[in-house]
Chain A
């Protein structure tokens, strides 16, 4: 039987702390390789493997999301891969969603841990479906005009690594705002980052090139997770001894995962992802039913 991580402030055996660190590192590697952050894996892992209360697991995941977002976004922003205009515009909606989700989590669902555990399962399944179904498509050279996007001059020219220049004009701002707001809600409620829905919202819906959408999502989730993390902090759900190893582990893992990503095949990555998610959903179900 795996250790139960103590949350009353007493120090767990150093081996337990190292186990959490190693697990968070693995979640960070997989999360970064898939461009999702570690939250989708760290929350079920902490709940099922380490017996952590789901609220504390969500709070730790939100904090580590801020860390990985800031770490990765700093590089992408300096490299000019982030679409700062579209990202800042969409943050208005994800921040509100993140705040709302966290407030629901610490009030209505404060004593409803099983509801949160079961809520995870459809999200995880949806993530798997999105990942398999989502085929990066080309940018539409002439999308329908969107008044707000035109007014804010959202879009630009994306230069591929090959040197090919792809001009893109953003469209579908209202649908995009709604989708990333939903993504923020998921982030605040379940601690799952939000890249999962941000990227399809920007790429498939708003006509942002795939790589730019990814870099922009990483930039945005820092703000989303901050709104959520502050709520959990003040509601008393932050376990300092859990947050520190989880954040350090995921941060280090995401640095390693980003390097590995370049070497892995896209198909192999998707299979890895679906496998890990199926496992996460099954474990959460077992936990939610109280069988473990």
Chain B
């Protein structure tokens, strides 16, 4: 099997497995939610939310409503949070083992992603 040794010597051996599991879990869960949402929309005949700018509270109420819109929106949120969660886990791991350089690097990525969400919610 082709592979590279470029890795983090101080980080526990299970780290790549953990990252892989988070990524796979997120994408599988969101695909299930997408498929269920579309299926329910067609069997139940319900309309799906049209593309629109949503405020935070509209967002929350769409999610609470249940039904196909909530399922697809939920899948979307799971999917967007998956890479974010992967960065959070990496950041905490580097922090724990005292890898200052990579703590800082992952913190920058985290700040950009979190900043994007904050800009979105405020704008």
Contacts and interface: CB of A to CB of B under 8 A. Distances in A.
A and B associate: yes
Interface of A: 7-11, 14, 17, 56, 63, 66-67, 69-71, 73-75, 77-86, 88-89, 91-92, 95-96, 99, 151-152, 154-161, 209, 211-212, 222-223, 226-227, 229-231, 233-241, 243-245, 247-248, 251
B109 A88 contact: yes
B6 A226 contact: no
A155 B48 contact: no
What's the dominant secondary structure at chain A's contact region?
helix
Interface residues of B, number: 62
Interface of B: 1-8, 16-17, 19-21, 23-24, 26-27, 30-31, 34-35, 37-38, 41-42, 45, 47-54, 69, 72-73, 75-76, 79-80, 82-84, 86-87, 90, 101-102, 105-106, 108-109, 112-113, 115-117, 119-121, 123
B106 to A, nearest CB: 6
A92 B104 CA distance: 10
- Residue among B37, B50, B53, B123 with max Cβ neighbours from chain A (10 Å): B50
Contact of A7 (B37, B51, B75, B121): B51
What's the dominant secondary structure at chain B's contact region?
helix
A170 to B, nearest CB: 9
- Residue among A14, A91, A92, A240 with max Cβ neighbours from chain B (10 Å): A240
Contacts of B90: 88
B102 A11 contact: no
A46 to B, nearest CB: 14
Nearest to B108: A92
